[in-house]
Structure 1
Amino acid sequence: MAQLKKSRCTLSGIGMVVAMALCIPFQAEASQPELEVVAEWNHLNWDLGDPAAEKAFNDKQDYKKAMLHGVKVDSKGNMYVSTARWGGAQVPATLSKLVKKGNGWVLQPFPNKNLNDINNPKGLKAVLGFEIDRNDVMWILDQGHIAGAPNKQGDEKLIGWDLKNNREIARYEFTNEQVDFTCSFLNDVAVDNDAGVIYITDSGIMCNPLKGGLLVYNMHTKEAKRVLTVPQWVNDEPGFTFKIHERDVLKAKEGKPNSMKTGADGIALSGDKKTLYWTNLTGNRLLSIPAEKLRDFSLNEAALEKLVRIDTVLPSNTDGMTADRKGNVYMTALTLNGLMKRDVQTGKVTPLVTNNEIAWPDTLGWGPDGWLYFVSNHLNLWVDGDMNFDNPPVSNFRIYRVHLGEQPYTIK
């Protein structure tokens, strides 16, 4: 495990802002890359361009309804984060750009306040997964649900936003045949610019039993298809349970045992773009399928089911995934408190970096020059209502990064 060596920057003049831009180096063992904290918060704060609204958000402690999910970085090094509105409409934005304020970071609604307006019928409702491709186009996956409420047509959608020209260039609204407006939980995306397709996971957690699945969107034809719904490949593994820092995930309630059930979650495209990998969060199998078969809409599900392979059994279940140009696959490791790596040459999966200050490593994102970013968000405490927003022993929300090479590794 990496040993911590911290040199904290001074935090001053931020007022209500608890976000900190720290650049804290963590000295890892020789076998592990150095782990660095880029930003951290005890609770999230937004720059809304409206001091009264910002004060009300803090005074009412609406920040307790907001948690950090994903981080992505564009070609200029700008960081963007998602905050799905699991806690309700009080979360002022579901997609934001990080901007400096004093010595810290605050969240600024992105692309703008209007698109994040909960009352905008064409706006973003609850973004969890998103990705920035090699052309600096941000592909935004809106799962739609506000505090678990059922969706209606237009809530679940995929939007392409051109970061260079600051404009929307694509929009696809999923139908109730492609997603279940009650059960679906659109989770994450993997982008293939060469083939012009986007692969999507649906965790299906809003119903019991789950209704997980995989979807594919074709950028050129602007068509989408739900391509895989076979329960054994896209739902939870029966009987699988796990702990974070020796704590059960989800409290036992009303005599029922703790049980987190989540289907298809992390997703990544191999370096040669020939293989699509994914995992079910409630399980520890790394699954794969030939990507070209998955995007062939003429194939039926029975044919695709026969092509699914269990690549390996992982040492931990995982939430976020990505791959580099060489073909190595990187995954967050929930029970190991860090990241793990599948070596392209041997297929062996080993811990990449671990640290006890990491809790629920969530989503991964590539930055320029070989930096790999990821979020640690104590999701297990938040969902149980046990998060300490005032003086936690470790900051509730952190963005870390590790340096894996001099050249950009992203294969998008």
Structure 2
Amino acid sequence: MNIMKHIIRVSFLLLSIVPCSKLIAQQQQPEVIARINPPAPDMSGIAVTSDNRVFLGFPRHADNHQSFALAELVKGKPVPFPDAAYVYPSTKAFKEWLVSPHGLYMDKNDVLWVLDDGKRDGIKEIPEGAAKVVALDSRTKKILHTLVIPKPVLSDDAHYNDLRVDLSHGAKGTVYIANSGFGERYSLLIIDVATGKTREVLLNHYSTSPEPGFMGFLEGKPLTYSFKEQTFPSGGIDGLALSPDSKTLYWTAITGRKMYSLPTETLSNPATSIQQLSDSVKYEGEHPACDGLAEDEKGNIYFGAFEQQALVQRTADGKFHLLAHDKDNFVWPDGLAYRNGYLYVTLGQWNRLPSYNKGKDLRKPPYLVERIKVNAN
């Protein structure tokens, strides 16, 4: 009888160990491509060209730094892009320089689209002209578009966090912007590139708002979401992803685990009513709690799972795969970008900011930028 129990127990252990071994074998070893040290600021957004040039955004909403706000990685070092005059603090009109770039997106023509949330730490107001979308030709450094988010759409309570550019709708394309909210204002913005006309939709809709009662683990600590007493980065709609055919926009809330989508034909049409948009929102299932998203040409969507300190892939058929886990270095995976078989990630340690830790800055530079090889198939 004792022998039989032993055999059963060993068999159970083997069944448990084998899948774990396979899981470990399938993970890729991350490659550090940059170590950002002070006085250089902390980074957030990331975008990569077809020939693997890497661009980073350095927002000022959490730290009103006096350094560059946008840079290209050159031999692992950030170099102001397109030039210093455009990315350092300036006395020029806010429309003429980058105030606080957050989300970055590289389109199929290697045009770099920069979402400037316009917010500076310690300053409540977001002046008109500060919040905008700028399109830069990555090859020539020429500014192709400057799309200012105008009043009354512009709100001091908004946090323009991530963007996607749909070149299949509109004469020159359509921009979708996630407003995760500095205040309790959560929405999706839509800008027609040709005309600059801007609409705000799904304002405080269930799909764009933080999930009530959200509880998450940050570096092993259970934390409960509270708008009034925030202990970790939180808010509404944050990560965006666009399907390979540009027919579907996906989004997630930074404080939540549910993914939603809408057809871009519906979103981009200004004749679509608020009610029609609300009724058309599709629930796409749960996902790891995350900040930014990335997508590839096969319809896979990538998540930076901040609770598990991992990078996760969701295939087009809705299945999830662990790509990499690193409890030491994957501290708040933030911006993600996919290009040429690699997933890139910025690790800004944002949950360690003083505002979430009783005034103590717990970040430990350098701030890492990493990439891993992934199987897009």
Match of 2:216 among 238, 242, 245: 242
Equivalent in 92, 95, 98 of residue 120 of structure 1: 92
Percent of pairs identical after alignment? 27
- For residues 178-189 of structure 1, the aligned pairs below 5 Å read 178-180=153-155, 182-189=156-163
Q: Which residue of 2 aligns with 1:293?
A: 266
Shift of 1:117: 3.2
Counterpart code for 2:270: F
**Structure 1 residues 258-407: aligned runs within 5 Å:** 258=231, 260-314=233-287, 316-345=288-317, 347-357=318-328, 358-367=330-339, 369-383=340-354, 384=357, 385-387=359-361, 392=364, 396-405=366-375
Counterpart of 1:320, as a letter, is: G
The answer for the alignment partner of 1:164 in structure 2 is 139
Moved more, 327-336 or 224-233: 224-233
| Number of residue equivalences | 345
Extract unaligned runs of 5+ from structure 1.
1-27, 47-65
Q: 1:191 and 2:168 equivalent?
A: no
Q: TM-score, normalised by structure 2?
A: 0.84
Q: Supply the RMSD in Å over aligned alpha carbons.
A: 2.6
What SS is found at the alignment partner of 1:320? Answer: strand
- With over 3 angstroms needed to count, the CA separation of the structure-2 counterparts of 1:321 and 1:366, relative to structure 1, is same
2:232–2:351 Cα contact (<8 Å) kept: no
Match of residue 147, structure 1, among 112, 118, 121: 121
CA–CA distance in structure 2, aligned partners of residues 241 and 285 of structure 1: 14
Kindly tell me: are residues 164 and 250 of structure 1, through their superposed partners in 2, closer, same or farther at Cα, counting changes over 3 Å?
A: farther
Q: Work out whether 1:203 is the aligned partner of 2:173.
A: no
Secondary structure in 2 matching 1:75: coil
Which residue number corresponds to residue 19 of structure 2? none
Match of 2:12 in 1: none
By percentage of residues, which structure has more helix?
A: 2
- In the TM superposition, residue 116 of structure 1 has moved relative to its aligned partner by 1.7
For the residue of structure 2 that corresponds to 1:305, the secondary structure is: helix
Counterpart position of 2:190: 216
Q: CA deviation at 1:83?
A: 1.0
Check whether the contact 1:82–1:96 (CA below 8 A) recurs between aligned residues: yes
Matched position secondary structure for 2:277:
helix
Alignment of 1:40-119 (within 5 A): 40-41=35-36, 43-46=37-40, 66-100=41-75, 105-118=76-89, 119=91
Which letter does structure 1 place at the counterpart of 2:239? G
Q: 1:83 to 1:259 in 2, by over 3 A?
A: closer
Unaligned ranges ≥5, structure 2: 1-22
Q: 1:295 to 1:310 in 2, by over 3 A?
A: same
Larger gyration radius, structure 1 or structure 2: 2
More displaced, 110-119 or 283-292? Answer: 110-119
Contact 1:44 1:106 in 2 (8 A): no
CA distance in 2, matches of 1:111, 1:252: 39
Change (3 A) 1:253 1:139: closer
CA–CA separation in structure 2 for the residues paired with 1:343 and 1:78 = 26
Matched to 2:281, the amino acid is V
Q: Distance in 1 between matches of 2:29 and 2:88?
A: 39
The alignment's TM-score, normalised by the length of structure 1, stands at 0.77
Residues in 2 aligned to 1:252 and 1:272: alpha-carbon distance in whole angstroms: 38
Equivalent residue letter for 1:203: S
> What's the CA shift for 1:396?
4.4
